[in-house]
Structure 1
Amino acid sequence: MTAVSRDFNVQESTIDYGPLGNDLGYVLRRAQLWVFQDFIRTMTPLDLRPAQYSVLVIIHHNPGLSQIALASALGIERARLVRLLDQLEERKLVERRPAASDRRSHAMHLTPQGERALAGALDLVATHRLACLEEFGGPNNYETLVRLLARFGAPQ
């Protein structure tokens, strides 16, 4: 992937990747690096990382979701999710409320500021998606890639 090589200041023609060029795990990881780097660059005005954005999206679409269900939905360890939620709560983007059914559990909600941040993020995500469409060779390739990867449990 030329774009990833440019990001690492390596001229692709000077490196022999051997069988890695056809290794699914390796090329997926390189693609992930490119996608995440572009996402982070695009989200710079909002200072949102990919995991933080994912948390905001899931909470927005599932207000009142428990922390345990949120961690499960995103495939994040609970301890890591607590750190993410602490960061988002410090920024006043999310709030934990006692769950109606179990006061030992927390129901997650976006604050009004969190809703505004997510709306701004969605605008930036559109820009990021255009960059991905271009990098992956157009909408057909992009949609095919997403559809194939979704077979492995990625959300659709």
Structure 2
Amino acid sequence: MVAEKKGGVSGINYGVLNELAGFRLRRAQLVAYGFSSEGFSSFGITPGLFGVLEIVRKNPGLTQTAVGQALGSDRSAMVSAIDKLEKRNLIKRSHTGFDRRSYALYLTCDGEEFVAKAEKSFRESNSDFLSVLSFEECELLFDFLERLTRVE
């Protein structure tokens, strides 16, 4: 017997996968990424790089390590991300003063302008993705997701 589709490929029995939160979250993430990929690609940026820019925009002066921790990225991924953003003149590194190996991050003027323009597009994509939910359902979804990020 073939299981109900439930967001997967029609005719595929997903078995226990449909009962696993991680599987369902991943499927939803793929759909969300599909909605936002056009917007991200039109700005020549990935969701991860935009995440770095937004964290730095809202928290100027954070170290690379702190930004990486906020986004759940490892050190090597952060170095690569910062290098890419720096080459595009969207972000700049400054020595922290207390540790020569540590850099504080700031958006450049170009970075501020870029994020302001990109944010509008990304908000629209997010709104399109969430349009199948009511306002109250969106609030519940974000509450549930927040709680799940705190599970240890």
TM bucket, shorter chain: 0.7 to 0.9
What is the number of equivalent residue pairs in this alignment?
Answer: 147
TM-score calculated relative to the size of structure 2: 0.87
2:130 equivalent to 1:148: no
Q: Who is 1:113 aligned against?
A: 110
| 2:78 paired residue among 53, 78, 81 | 81
- Aligned with 2:104: secondary structure? strand
| 1:15 paired residue among 12, 17, 25 | 12
CA distance in 1, matches of 2:110, 2:145: 33
Instruction: Give the conservation status (yes or no) of the 8 Å contact 1:42–1:127.
Output: no
CA distance in 2, matches of 1:35, 1:4: 13
Q: Who is 1:129 aligned against?
A: 126
- Aligned with 1:85: secondary structure? helix
- Aligned with 1:108: secondary structure? strand
Instruction: Give the conservation status (yes or no) of the 8 Å contact 1:4–1:34.
Output: no
- The Cα of 1:4 is off from its aligned counterpart by 6.2
Compared CA separation, residues 4 and 120, structure 1 to 2 (3 A):
farther
Q: Unaligned 5+ residue runs, structure 1? A: none
Q: Who is 1:45 aligned against?
A: 42
Percent of paired sites with the same residue: 34
Instruction: Give the conservation status (yes or no) of the 8 Å contact 1:132–1:142.
Output: no
- The Cα of 1:139 is off from its aligned counterpart by 2.2
Q: Who is 1:70 aligned against?
A: 67
Q: Who is 1:60 aligned against?
A: 57
Q: Residue 58 of structure 1 aligns to which amino acid in structure 2?
A: I
Q: Unaligned 5+ residue runs, structure 2? A: none
- The Cα of 1:3 is off from its aligned counterpart by 10
Root-mean-square deviation (Å): 2.1
TM-score calculated relative to the size of structure 1: 0.85
CA distance in 2, matches of 1:106, 1:76: 16
| 1:35 paired residue among 10, 32, 35 | 32
